[in-house]
């Protein structure tokens, strides 16, 4: 949570500094507007790229967790089957001992 706030704060500070720097630069209004539009477009592209990377990482993590849980569930199923077989063997042994 703190890292995301820090990143958002840094991005906001960079954006504000860029806009203020451009507004106070000695350039014609049309040039300044074009520079602001270009920087806004660049920031938008960077944000889209970051969101895509984050989305890919989340998708990958979910896939890995799903695979791990399926393996775990498969192992659990095998253990249950082995224990049922052991229980049946114990029943057979007990019957043999009792009937004897």
Q: What is the reported pTM?
A: 0.48
Tens of pLDDT, residue by residue over 6-44, are: 777 888 888 888 777 767 777 677 887 788 788 889 988
Q: Which DSSP category does 24 fall into? A: T
Q: Exposed (0-12), middle (13-18) or buried (19+): which is 35, by Cβ within 10 Å?
A: middle
């Amino acid at each position: 949570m703190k890292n995301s706030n820090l990143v958002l704060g840094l991005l906001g500070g960079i954006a504000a500094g860029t806009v203020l720097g451009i507004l106070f630069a000695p350039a014609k209004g049309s040039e300044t507007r074009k520079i602001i539009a270009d920087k806004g477009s660049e920031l938008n592209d960077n944000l889209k790229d970051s969101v895509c990377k984050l989305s890919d990482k989340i998708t990958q993590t979910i896939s890995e967790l799903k695979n791990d849980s399926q393996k775990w569930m498969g192992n659990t199923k095998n253990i249950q089957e082995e224990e049922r077989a052991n229980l049946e063997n114990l029943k057979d042994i007990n019957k043999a001992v009792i009937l004897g």
